[in-house]
Amino acid sequence: MDFIVQLAIYSAIASIAAVSLNYVVGFTGIMSISHASFYGIGAYGTALLLTKTGLSFVPALLLGVLITGLVAAFASVPILRLREDSLMLVSVGFALIIHSLMLNWQSLTNGPRGVKSIPRPEIFGISLTDKNFYLVLCLVLLVLTIIIFYKITKSPYGTVIKGIRENEEVMKNYGYNVSKYKHSVFVLGAIFAGLAGGLFASYIQYISPESFILLPSVFMLIMVILGGMGSIGGSIIGAILITVIPELMRFAGLPSSFAAESNQIVYGIILFALMYWRPQGLFGKYKI
Amino acid sequence: MFQVLVNGIIVGGIYALITIGFNLIYSAVRFYHLAYGAVGILGAYLTYQIQKFIFETQGGGLITGFLLGLLISSIVTGMLGILIWKFLYRPLRKNGASNVSMIVASFGLLIILQNLIGLIFGQSAKTIRLSEVTTQGYEFLSASITKNQILILIVTLVSVFVFELFLHRTKIGTAIRAVGQNSQLAAVVGVKTEKVIYITFFIASFLSVLASSLIALEISLKPTYGLMLILKVIVASIIGGIGSMRGALVGGLMLGVAENFGAYYFGSQWQDTVAFGLLVIFLLVRPQGLFKK
Amino acid sequence: MSLLQIKNISKSFDGLKALHNLSFNVNDGEIVGVIGPNGAGKSTLFNAIMNHINKDSGDIYFDGINITKKPTHPIAGMGIVRTFQDSQPLPQISVQENLDLAFKYQTDISLVSVFGRHKFLQEEQQVHFTKIKELLHEVGLGSKLNVQAQDLSYGQGKLLEMLKVIASDARLILLDEPFSGLFPEMIKLVTKLIYDLSASGKTILLVEHNMQLIEEICDRVIVMDAGQKIADGDFKTVTKQQNVIDSYLGK
């Protein structure tokens, strides 16, 4: 039972990240591979604030999210100047630079040793060290995330960013400041990725640069592509599937020496198969 | 300081070799074959195994083993390259996949290959040696250079030279360049586009095995190098200008030198950051690279 | 003062002169045709006006304001709209959404509006939108509001693009081969839409290959060849000029 609660918590956190990535990639068409970096910045920000300052959970999380947003705002300037392939590449470059900073900026991040003993939340004096309470917290935030992104996508603002995904030039020719919209989409997406990261840090109570290399960004992308571009529900299903499958495989008794590689081979196959048979994903409405 | 430059040129030469192959493929099929690095590394592992087999069980010399291994694995990997195009990429293309789809698919392929290598050969680093004493070298203008490194330099120079000749002085080379510039026009003029693409993949895979084996010689061999290598290749391609052979050469060399200088001034842990910082800078300031296609 | 003033603009691509010292004016309310052999630079002209490409030299004025170096979206915001050759609507969104995006007051929607009670169309625009809805019915798209634009036929797509132009309420309209690929009934419809636009006081610059339509619709014609203006006047006069005949026959 405990194991299922843990799986549910991971799925909820992954879902928040996936829904926010879907907003950037699936809905608006910005092919960014740097999302996990914002997840990581949120995690590190919250973790460092919780352990090095006296801040309690809610302010630390909010501040961590704010920091993520600021970094995203800066990063968006170079990243969003490019199109398609180049944008993917530069976002990869950005992700690798951030990882390198996590590893090497030892005075701030403690380097490869990571940040230990991150406390569980204390909200309004109630200690949330119990897993079940933490799950409730995650689910509440997930529901909030879903509502926010749902409202956005159904609004006139949502129509504008869909138009941007379809054809930026045409949108500019109708008078839309496409660049401004892309920036605000990118930053909002990053903010929610940071939120997911902060939740992750406080739950798992120990983070190191290991957890935030390139592959997590790819996993998030797989979740979104699998679930379906532009579909909020699809992203959640994708997140759950990608979180749960490796655990199931472990359950099935694959020796752990095989597990990591086999997992990734499965992901590789999923990616390739999706591009061939269903580039819009399981529930998606838009093709890459 | 000069030592740093020398090291940079050696590594840069290897980067250049594999970047040339990457750009060759790009100019023929117009998308990023991200799995390319992993294919090369796979080939290097094959070279390693064959050399080991010959040295340990057949009583052959290290050098003989290496050359034989290189030959065999190049051919095998070349065939693999063709198979990848024919059975994986071409069907995708025929299905109408967009460029972004192709990148994602080729990334999936990279993950598969890299992990297969890890499963088959294990995660520990392997090295290829050419003689019992590996670090014997010479002093040259206040820089020391090992025998291995001289070999690498010679191989790289010769390969690039031969390749340039091939591309510009043979019929096949001209056909490859024609397909790269305009495949429809080339087909109209009677160039067998499919055959040219096969040859391109074969040659490029050969180059990647050569370069990866040199890396195994100079540094080491690990399954994760496939990803690392292709990232460096992409940086070099962006610097040099994607699709340009000359650009690949210059881009690779610049990257090698910049990395080594970065390591010298900032510490070796910042080496990758320098590489990707270069990528970001070029994409912003001169996204078409130094040489136009 | 003319609504649109093109003054001596030049643009080269890799040594090829796409536009060469081009100058002309377009006055308020005119329908001006732009004709010329393929490669004359007609689409480049539109790209230059919207600053989709930088000009090497020269200036462009709209309503007296220098728009040579402005980014595309404020130029559009000042009241110019353009279509592209083979214009088709944004494919993976609906007909309704395509139209919504073209309405002129919608270009500054912020995130805040998501949580307010913002509707796409304020009162004044409702009137405008009702008119468009009638037009939709007239051209046969009335029942297709919720259809994805990519499911429309080519001709229907072009009609939708014309309706978007009308919805934008722009003062200056740049049409790039609006008739190409259309059946005769569609051509009649598009012609009528253009006349309606002109009647409501809009200014139109029209690139087209179909000489009959140009003669019928345009007040005046500008002939381009190799990036230069070689004639400027009414259709009958201009088409009798020797240099125009030469350029079409190929020297």
Judged by a CB distance cut-off of 8 A, whether residue C122 touches chain A is no
How far is CA B137 from each of CA B145, B151, B154, B172, B205, rounded to the nearest angstrom? 5, 11, 15, 40, 31
pLDDT band, very low/low/confident/very high, at B136 (cuts 50, 70, 90): low
Give tens-digit pLDDT for B174-193.
Answer: 887 777 676 667 777 767 77
Q: State the sign of the Cα–Cα–Cα–Cα dihedral C125, C85, C49, C205.
A: negative
The distance of Cα B291 from the centroid of its chain, to the nearest Å, equals 19
Give tens-digit pLDDT for A229-260.
Answer: 888 888 899 899 888 887 777 777 666 667 77
Strands (E), C45-114: 57-62, 65-66, 80-82
Q: How large is the greatest C-alpha to C-alpha distance in chain C, in angstroms?
A: 64
Q: Please answer yes or no on whether A272 and B231 come within 8 Å at the CB atom.
A: no
Measure the CA angle with vertex B288, ends B285 and B290; round to 5°. Answer: 85
Q: Please answer yes or no on whether B98 and A287 come within 8 Å at the CB atom.
A: yes
Q: Please answer yes or no on whether C76 and A170 come within 8 Å at the CB atom.
A: no
At C65, the amino acid letter reads I
Evaluate whether B248 touches B16 at the Cβ level (below 8 Å).
yes
| Other CB atoms within 10 Å distance of the CB of residue B189 | 10
Side-chain-side CA neighbours of A8 within 13 Å: the count stands at: 15
Q: Please answer yes or no on whether A188 and C111 come within 8 Å at the CB atom.
A: yes
Cβ-Cβ contacts under 8 Å for C127 (sequence gap 6 or more): none
| Other CB atoms within 10 Å distance of the CB of residue B161 | 10
The answer on pLDDT for A107 being more than 80 is no
Judged by a CB distance cut-off of 8 A, whether residue C53 touches chain A is no
Query: Which of A76, A91, A29 has its CA nearest to residue A183?
Result: A76
- Choose from A100-114, A125-139, C13-27 the range with maximum mean pLDDT: C13-27
Residue B137, φ and ψ in degrees, nearest 5:
-155, -165
By CB atoms closer than 10 A (0-12, 13-18, 19+), residue C216 is exposed
Query: What residues of A are in contact with residue C168 (Cβ under 8 Å)?
Result: 174-175
Residue predicted with more confidence, A282 or C21: C21
- Choose from A51-55, B95-99, B203-207 the range with maximum mean pLDDT: B203-207
Residue predicted with more confidence, C204 or B284: C204
Instruction: Report the C-alpha gap between B16 and B148 in whole angstroms.
Output: 18
Average pLDDT, chain B: 82
Residue predicted with more confidence, A279 or B210: B210
Evaluate whether C9 touches C55 at the Cβ level (below 8 Å).
yes
pLDDT tens digit at each of 251 positions of chain C: 789 999 999 998 877 888 989 999 999 999 999 988 877 788 889 999 999 988 999 999 999 999 999 999 999 989 999 998 888 999 989 998 898 888 865 666 777 666 665 555 566 667 777 888 888 888 888 888 888 888 999 988 999 999 999 988 899 999 999 998 888 888 998 999 999 999 989 999 999 988 889 989 999 999 988 888 888 988 888 888 888 888 777 65
Query: What residues of A are in contact with residue C74 (Cβ under 8 Å)?
Result: 175
CATH 1.10.3470 fits B2-285, yes or no: yes
* Span of A19-23, A138-142, A207-211 with lowest mean pLDDT: A207-211
CA distance A231 to chain C (A): 14
> Which pLDDT value is given to residue A257?
65
Cα end-to-end span (Å), chain C: 37
Query: Which of B260, B263, B224, B258 has its CA nearest to residue B238?
Result: B258
Instruction: Report the C-alpha gap between A79 and B280 in whole angstroms.
Output: 8
What is the DSSP pairing of strand C4-13 with strand C57-62?
antiparallel
Instruction: Report the C-alpha gap between A121 and A137 in whole angstroms.
Output: 10
What is the DSSP pairing of strand C57-62 with strand C65-66?
antiparallel
Residue predicted with more confidence, C170 or B171: C170
What is the three-state SS of chain B? CHHHHHHHHHHHHHHHHHHHHHHHHHHHHCCCCCCHHHHHHHHHHHHHHHHHHHHHHCCCCHHHHHHHHHHHHHHHHHHHHHHHHHHHHHHHHHCCCCHHHHHHHHHHHHHHHHHHHHHHHCCCCECCCCCCCCCCEEEECCEEEEHHHHHHHHHHHHHHHHHHHHHHHCHHHHHHHHHHHCHHHHHHCCCCHHHHHHHHHHHHHHHHHHHHHHHHHHCCECCCHHHHHHHHHHHHHHHHCCCCHHHHHHHHHHHHHHHHHHHHHHCHHHHHHHHHHHHHHHHHHCCCCCCCC
Which of A260, A272, A288 comes nearest B98 by C-beta? A288
The answer on pLDDT for B139 being more than 70 is no
Q: What average pLDDT does the segment A281-285 reach? A: 78
Judged by a CB distance cut-off of 8 A, whether residue C110 touches chain A is yes
Write b or e for each residue in B248-267: b if 16 or more Cβ atoms lie within 10 A of its Cβ, otherwise e.
bbbbbbbbbbbbbbbbbeee
Measure the CA angle with vertex B109, ends B108 and B110; round to 5°. Answer: 90
| Other CB atoms within 10 Å distance of the CB of residue B154 | 11
- Choose from B104-108, B140-144, C170-174 the range with maximum mean pLDDT: C170-174
Average pLDDT, chain A: 85
Evaluate whether A77 touches A55 at the Cβ level (below 8 Å).
no
CA distance B105 to chain A (A): 5
> Which pLDDT value is given to residue A34?
84
The answer on pLDDT for A217 being more than 80 is no
Query: What residues of B are in contact with residue A258 (Cβ under 8 Å)?
Result: 119
* Chain A residue with the nearest C-alpha to that of B96: A276
The answer on pLDDT for A73 being more than 80 is yes
The answer on pLDDT for A140 being more than 90 is yes
For chain A, which residues lie within 8 Å of any Cβ of chain C, measuring from their own Cβ? 151-152, 155-160, 162-163, 165-167, 169-178, 184, 188, 285-287
> Which pLDDT value is given to residue C117?
54
Residue C164 is inside which H or E element, if any? helix C154-168
Instruction: Report the C-alpha gap between B213 and B217 in whole angstroms.
Output: 6
Give tens-digit pLDDT for B246-280.
Answer: 788 888 999 999 988 888 888 877 888 888 888 88
The distance of Cα C158 from the centroid of its chain, to the nearest Å, equals 12
Write b or e for each residue in B99-121: b if 16 or more Cβ atoms lie within 10 A of its Cβ, otherwise e.
ebbbbbbbbbbbbbbbbbbbbeb
| Other CB atoms within 10 Å distance of the CB of residue C203 | 23
Q: Tell me the pTM.
A: 0.85
Query: What residues of A are in contact with residue C111 (Cβ under 8 Å)?
Result: 152, 157, 184, 188
Could you give the ipTM of this predicted complex?
A: 0.87
Which of A100, A271, A288 comes nearest B107 by C-beta? A271
Angle, helix B193-218 to helix B2-29, in steps of 10 degrees: 160
* Span of B141-145, B156-160, C208-212, C215-219 with lowest mean pLDDT: B141-145
Q: Mapping DSSP to helix (H, G, I), strand (E, B) and coil, where does residue A105 land?
A: coil
> Which pLDDT value is given to residue A185?
94
The answer on pLDDT for B244 being more than 90 is no
Residue C96 is inside which H or E element, if any? helix C95-102
Write b or e for each residue in A24-41: b if 16 or more Cβ atoms lie within 10 A of its Cβ, otherwise e.
bbbbbbbbbbbbbbbbbb
* Chain A residue with the nearest C-alpha to that of C47: A173
What are the structural domain ranges in chain A? Answer: 2-212
- The residues with which C11 forms a beta bridge, in sequence order, are C19
Domains and CATH numbers, chain C: 4-92+167-249 (3.40.50.300)
Residue recorded with tokens 């039972």: A1
What are the structural domain ranges in chain B? Answer: 2-285
> Which pLDDT value is given to residue B228?
84
Query: What residues of A are in contact with residue C164 (Cβ under 8 Å)?
Result: 174
Evaluate whether C141 touches C95 at the Cβ level (below 8 Å).
yes
Residue predicted with more confidence, A13 or B288: A13
CA distance A210 to chain B (A): 14
> Which pLDDT value is given to residue C124?
64
The answer on pLDDT for A206 being more than 70 is yes
The distance of Cα B250 from the centroid of its chain, to the nearest Å, equals 14
Residue predicted with more confidence, C221 or B243: C221
Q: What average pLDDT does the segment A182-198 reach? A: 94
Pure H helices in chain A: 2-21, 35-52, 57-79, 84-104, 106-109, 131-154, 156-166, 168-173, 178-204, 214-227, 232-251, 256-277
What is the DSSP pairing of strand C203-207 with strand C172-176?
parallel
How far is CA C1 from each of CA B98, C24, C203, C248, rounded to the nearest angstrom? 48, 13, 14, 32
> Which pLDDT value is given to residue A128?
67
> Which pLDDT value is given to residue C75?
92
> Which pLDDT value is given to residue A36?
83
Mutate to test the interface with A, among B88, B100, B274 (most CBs of A within 10 A): B100
Phi-psi region of A110 (alpha: psi -120 to 50; beta: other; left: phi over 0): left
What is the DSSP pairing of strand B137-140 with strand A126-127?
unpaired
Evaluate whether B106 touches B84 at the Cβ level (below 8 Å).
no
Angle, helix B2-29 to helix B36-57, in steps of 10 degrees: 120
Query: Which of B213, B181, B209 has its CA nearest to residue B48?
Result: B213
> Which pLDDT value is given to residue C104?
65
The distance of Cα B94 from the centroid of its chain, to the nearest Å, equals 27
Q: Mapping DSSP to helix (H, G, I), strand (E, B) and coil, where does residue C72 land?
A: helix
List chains touching B (3+ CB pairs under 8 A).
A
Instruction: Report the C-alpha gap between B236 and B226 in whole angstroms.
Output: 15
By CB atoms closer than 10 A (0-12, 13-18, 19+), residue C59 is middle
Instruction: Report the C-alpha gap between A158 and A249 in whole angstroms.
Output: 39
Instruction: Report the C-alpha gap between A197 and A38 in whole angstroms.
Output: 8
> Which pLDDT value is given to residue A145?
94
% of chain B at pLDDT higher than 70: 92
Query: Which of A231, A212, A168, A158 has its CA nearest to residue A188?
Result: A158
CA distance C105 to chain A (A): 10
pLDDT band, very low/low/confident/very high, at A125 (cuts 50, 70, 90): low
> Which pLDDT value is given to residue A265?
85
> Which pLDDT value is given to residue A112?
78
